[in-house]
């Protein structure tokens, strides 16, 4: 193909050369159509040479320079006196001129797509003087186009989309190819389009490049993507034209043309009856071949016996129908439910409704499984009321629970002590009767919220919970009192009948009709001449002065007892004392000072006397501290601190006892005889509960009883011993019992025994046993010689 293209180009070049030579009459110099030429110092003359445009064929591949044209002037007589020169674009580098003949040649291959024309200037000079004989003129060499560029798709490859099921002729996308050849010359740049791959599904407009659908009812679910190859060919598609191709990927976009369908006509699921409310029972999904918004579903329960028990919603991510529980399940009440569920597209396309209903139904059967359930209370909350005056042990109310299972196991009740930390209430384990265990006080806690636990007798791990709210009813058990600690003052210049204080009362009780308090002075204060009280009948009272002329020097503080009675049944009362201080006031009645010290000091003790009293007080305090310190030091030996613990000390005595016959070192009877009578010492910090009596002499008692009695007696003595440490300590006793029928086994007593055994053989055992042989041999008298 490449060789044929070169030959075709040579053919076009020959045609162009023929046209150039045939037009030489227009390219040569001519005096016709010449324009006037003005030269300074001369008369007006006519231009002696003009020419038209030159044309040269592009892509010349010959070995010789390509002839372009010829320049000639009428001044040139052919005797070689005129020479021609060329300047401008490409002069000397691309275009050369024969200075004698004026022939112009192109020395290089030209490409119109790189530069379409060249502007040059020509001039004729006198060869001897080198002066112009003609004025310089411009001319243009145009590059004549040949079909050397194939069409190109600058925006390819293309991607496009078209809805599935589109009718024939639906526009998909427009492709455009460009040809670098000259569109004004010939057909080199005239392009037509055709489709090489993609038929019979798509077609392309030959002139515009618009791709359209060629088949109806193309289904995305069958095939969703097509690869098209589009060709653009110049020379109006004729043979010999150049071509270029591009690919177009066409994707069928989805439309809602497929209804939802359940894969199965029925489903069955098993759920335990203990499944909590809002739990997921099952997930079902209707299949839809569409995608995106066209596959969005809506589910609903259209029929069945579980309309109020279950509900269905849609998972927006997976488009599944989620069946959840709305109410508690009870195997004993109902063992199964049947639901009729419908699935439909959220947005149906009316164009495809003729294909059938865009919905589908299926049946879901739910089997309820029996589980061992905890006891259930007859009410979720038991409100109860009890008076705060009720006696301990009185019945408040009763709760009831039962085992919902078919076994109907007995139930036992208890109170969750985390909700009754103070143990105010008890409950009967069998009957569920709640009683008071302590005295109640409404002012401490007005409402008790307790939790009652109900456990199955056969399976204690099954525990039900009931809630009881016990409201404590109020009784009038609190007397009224002042609402606050009043700081009442009266001015020295107060007038009779002047209100100096307004008081009110509070009561911790809460009567149903509200509080009503009555104020009055006590009997002892009724006849006082200083102050009076007025009950305002609105739970307040006013304190008024009865006279004037109060003086701090005479009395700086007055105590006024006020009697307050409430309206309860029975009514309660209290006496509250109001402290009234006499103060010096300004003209507006505002207290300035209430201190009577300035008036008391001149009439009382002198400063020296006060200092002496203060010194005495300090001395007494010092003596008291010394006495307390000494007493504490005396008590210290009774308590062993950590630094002086006897267990951390080693006491060494260089005293070796005289053995069993040494009766002077210590009293052996205290260790041997259990019957030694000791003086009972009473411990001051322990109140004795049992008075110890002298024990009778033991006769014949088993050894284990003797030792137990011995330890018990020593334990009691340690408990009441005032010198014993206050903490636990180890007591060691060397008690061996009252005696043995075998008598003593000591070797010291063997010397006086009447044993018939002969120990003379010891002297035969060597010098190591000589001492024993002397002691127990026949010659015993030698021991005392």
pLDDT of residue 337: 95
Asked if 470 and 425 count as a contact pair (C-beta separation under 8 A), the reply is yes
The CATH number of residue 131's host domain is: 2.60.40.60
Domain contains 298? yes
H/E segment holding residue 714: helix 703-720
Q: Which of 124, 144, 164 is the last residue of a domain?
A: 144
**Dist. CA 705–CA 317, nearest whole Å:** 86
pLDDT of residue 499: 92
Q: Are residues 336 and 358 in the same domain?
A: yes
Domain contains 361? yes
Which of 95, 46, 94, 99 shows the shortest CA–CA distance to 71?
99
Q: Which of 271-285, 340-354, 739-753 has the lowest mean pLDDT?
A: 739-753
> Is 70 exceeded by the pLDDT of residue 11?
no
Report the percent of the chain where pLDDT is more than 70. 77
Dihedral sign, Cα of residue 221, residue 225, residue 226, residue 232: positive
Which of 222, 289, 281, 273 shows the shortest CA–CA distance to 376?
273
- Whether cis (ω within 30° of 0) applies to the bond prior to 440 is no
Domain contains 488? yes
Domain contains 603? no
Which of 728, 766, 514 shows the shortest CA–CA distance to 640?
728
In this structure, are strands 573-585 and 488-491 parallel, antiparallel, or unpaired?
A: parallel
Q: What is the 3-state secondary structure (H, E, C) of 17-72?
A: HHHHHHCHHHHCCCCCCCCEECCCCCCCEECCCCCCCEEEECCCCCCCCEEEEECC
Q: Are residues 127 and 204 in the same domain?
A: no
Q: Which of 454, 473, 492 is the last residue of a domain?
A: 473
Q: Are residues 194 and 275 in the same domain?
A: no
Q: Are residues 459 and 517 in the same domain?
A: no
Q: How many CB atoms lie within 10 A of CB 698?
A: 14
Burial 186-200 (b: 16+ CB within 10 A, else e): bbbbbbbbebeebee
> Is 60 exceeded by the pLDDT of residue 361?
yes
pLDDT of residue 28: 38
Q: Which of 438, 473, 508 is the last residue of a domain?
A: 473
Domain contains 544? yes
Q: Which of 389-398, 581-590, 688-697, 768-777 has the lowest mean pLDDT?
A: 688-697
Q: What is the pTM of this model?
A: 0.44
Q: Are residues 538 and 445 in the same domain?
A: no
In this structure, are strands 202-204 and 297-304 parallel, antiparallel, or unpaired?
A: unpaired
Higher pLDDT, 469 or 772: 469
Report the percent of the chain where pLDDT is more than 90. 37
> Is 90 exceeded by the pLDDT of residue 779?
no
Q: Are residues 234 and 272 in the same domain?
A: no
Residues 760-764: contacts with CB within 8 Å, 24+ apart?
A: none
Domain contains 644? no
Domain contains 637? no
* 34 exposure class (CB count in 10 Å sphere: 0-12, 13-18, 19+): middle
Q: Which two tokens stand for residue 142?
A: 């145009």
> Is 90 exceeded by the pLDDT of residue 450?
yes
Burial 444-474 (b: 16+ CB within 10 A, else e): eeeebebebbbbbeeeeebebebbbebebeb
Q: Are residues 315 and 241 in the same domain?
A: no
Find the mean pLDDT for residues 121-129: 87
Q: Which of 96-105, 270-279, 594-603, 691-700 has the lowest mean pLDDT?
A: 691-700
Q: Are residues 165 and 248 in the same domain?
A: yes
> Is 50 exceeded by the pLDDT of residue 52?
yes
**Dist. CA 554–CA 599, nearest whole Å:** 10
Domain range for residue 464?
376-473
> Is 70 exceeded by the pLDDT of residue 600?
no
Residue 353, CA distances (Å) to 170, 345, 356 in order: 22, 12, 6
Over the stretch 199-256, which tens digit does the pLDDT of each residue have? 999 999 999 999 999 999 899 989 999 999 999 998 888 887 889 999 999 999 999 8
In total, the chain counts a number of residues equal to: 785
Q: How confident is the model at residue 577 (pLDDT cuts 50, 70, 90)?
A: very high
Asked if 29 and 50 count as a contact pair (C-beta separation under 8 A), the reply is yes
Provide the 3-class DSSP secondary structure of residue 351. helix
Q: How confident is the model at residue 724 (pLDDT cuts 50, 70, 90)?
A: low
pLDDT of residue 211: 95
Asked if 120 and 88 count as a contact pair (C-beta separation under 8 A), the reply is yes
Q: Are residues 490 and 539 in the same domain?
A: yes
pLDDT of residue 407: 79
Domain contains 315? yes
Over the stretch 54-77, which tens digit does the pLDDT of each residue have? 888 777 777 788 888 888 887 888
> Is 50 exceeded by the pLDDT of residue 1?
no
**Number of domains present in the structure of the chain:** 5
Q: Are residues 397 and 460 in the same domain?
A: yes
Q: Are residues 389 and 469 in the same domain?
A: yes
Mean pLDDT of the chain: 79
> Is 60 exceeded by the pLDDT of residue 783?
no
In this structure, are strands 321-325 and 336-345 parallel, antiparallel, or unpaired?
A: unpaired
Q: What is the 3-state secondary structure (H, E, C) of 756-778?
A: CCCCHHHHHHCHHHHHHHHHHCC
Find the mean pLDDT for residues 395-423: 91
**Dist. CA 705–CA 169, nearest whole Å:** 123
Q: How confident is the model at residue 578 (pLDDT cuts 50, 70, 90)?
A: very high
Q: Are residues 588 and 486 in the same domain?
A: yes
pLDDT of residue 15: 57
Q: What is the 3-state secondary structure (H, E, C) of 585-633?
A: ECCCCCEEECCCHHHHHHHCCCHHHHHHHHHHHHHHHHHHHHHHHHHHH
Q: How confident is the model at residue 686 (pLDDT cuts 50, 70, 90)?
A: very low
């Amino acid at each position: 193909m490449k060789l044929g293209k070169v030959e075709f180009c040579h053919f076009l070049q020959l045609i162009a050369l023929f046209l150039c030579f045939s037009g030489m009459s227009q390219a040569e110099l001519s005096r016709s159509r010449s324009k006037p030429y003005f030269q300074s110092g001369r008369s007006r003359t006519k231009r002696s040479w003009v020419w038209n445009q030159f044309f040269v064929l592009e892509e010349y591949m010959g070995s010789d320079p390509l002839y372009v044209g010829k320049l000639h002037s009428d001044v040139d007589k052919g005797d070689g006196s005129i020479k021609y020169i060329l300047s401008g674009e490409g002069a000397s580098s691309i275009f050369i001129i024969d200075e004698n003949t004026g022939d112009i040649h192109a020395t290089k291959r030209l490409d119109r797509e790189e530069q379409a024309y060249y502007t040059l200037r020509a001039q004729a000079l006198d060869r001897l003087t080198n002066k112009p004989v003609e004025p310089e003129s411009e001319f243009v060499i145009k590059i004549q186009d040949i079909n050397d560029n194939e069409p190109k798709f600058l925006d390819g490859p293309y991607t496009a989309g078209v809805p599935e099921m589109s009718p024939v002729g639906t526009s998909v996308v427009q492709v455009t190819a460009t040809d670098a050849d000259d569109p004004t010359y010939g057909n080199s740049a005239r392009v037509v389009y055709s489709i090489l791959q993609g038929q019979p599904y798509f077609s392309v407009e030959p002139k515009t490049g618009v791709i359209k659908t060629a088949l109806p009812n193309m289904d995305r679910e069958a095939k969703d993507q097509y690869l098209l190859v589009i060709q653009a060919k110049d020379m109006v598609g004729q043979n010999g034209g150049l071509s270029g191709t591009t690919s177009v990927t066409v994707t069928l976009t989805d439309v809602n043309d497929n209804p939802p369908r359940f894969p199965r006509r029925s489903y069955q699921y098993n759920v335990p009856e203990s499944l909590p409310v809002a739990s997921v029972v099952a997930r079902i999904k209707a299949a839809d071949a569409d995608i995106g918004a066209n596959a969005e579903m809506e589910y609903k329960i259209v029929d069945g016996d579980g309309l109020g028990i279950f509900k269905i919603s849609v998972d927006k991510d997976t488009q599944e129908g989620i069946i959840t529980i709305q109410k508690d399940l009870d195997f004993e009440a109902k063992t199964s439910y049947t639901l009729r569920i419908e699935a439909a597209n959220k947005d149906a396309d009316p164009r495809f409704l003729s294909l059938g209903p865009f919905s589908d139904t299926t049946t879901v059967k739910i089997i309820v499984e029996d589980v061992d359930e905890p006891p259930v209370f007859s009410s979720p909350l038991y409100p109860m009321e009890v008076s705060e005056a009720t006696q301990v042990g009185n019945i408040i109310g009763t709760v009831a629970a039962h085992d919902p299972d078919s076994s109907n196991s007995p139930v036992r009740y208890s109170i969750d002590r985390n909700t009754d930390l103070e143990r105010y209430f008890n409950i009967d384990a069998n009957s569920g009767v709640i009683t008071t265990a302590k005295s109640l006080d409404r002012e401490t806690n007005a409402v008790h919220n307790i939790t009652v636990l109900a456990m199955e007798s056969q399976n204690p791990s099954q525990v039900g919970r009931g809630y009881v709210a016990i409201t404590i009813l109020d009784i009038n058990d609190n007397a009224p009192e002042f609402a606050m600690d009043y700081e009442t003052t009266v001015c020295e210049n107060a007038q009779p009948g002047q209100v100096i204080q307004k008081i009110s009362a509070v009561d911790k009780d809460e009567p149903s009709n509200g509080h009503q308090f009555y104020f009055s002075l006590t009997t002892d204060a009724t006849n006082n001449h200083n102050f009076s009280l007025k009950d305002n009948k609105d739970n307040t009272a006013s304190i008024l002065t009865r006279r004037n002329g109060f003086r701090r020097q005479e009395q700086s503080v007055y105590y006024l007892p006020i009697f307050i009675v409430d309206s309860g049944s029975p009514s309660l009362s209290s006496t509250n004392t109001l402290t009234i201080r006499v103060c010096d006031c300004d003209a507006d009645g505002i207290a300035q000072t209430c201190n009577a010290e300035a008036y008391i000091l001149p009439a009382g003790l002198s400063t020296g006397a006060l200092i002496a009293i203060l010194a005495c007080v300090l001395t007494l305090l010092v003596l008291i501290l010394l006495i307390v310190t000494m007493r504490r030091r005396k008590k210290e030996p009774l308590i062993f601190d950590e630094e002086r613990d006897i267990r951390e000390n080693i006491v060494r005595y260089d005293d070796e006892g005289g053995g069993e016959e040494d009766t002077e070192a210590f009293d052996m009877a205290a260790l041997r005889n259990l019957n030694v009578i000791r003086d009972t010492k009473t411990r001051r910090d322990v109140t004795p509960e049992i008075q110890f009596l002298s024990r009778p002499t033991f006769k014949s008692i088993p050894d284990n009883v003797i030792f137990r009695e011995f330890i018990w007696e020593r334990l009691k003595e340690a408990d009441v011993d005032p010198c014993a440490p206050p903490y636990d300590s180890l007591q060691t006793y060397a008690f061996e019992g009252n005696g043995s029928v075998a008598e003593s086994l000591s070797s010291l007593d063997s010397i006086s025994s009447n044993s018939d055994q002969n120990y003379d053989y010891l002297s035969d055992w060597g010098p190591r046993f000589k001492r024993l042989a002397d002691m127990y041999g026949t010659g015993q008298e030698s021991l005392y010689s």
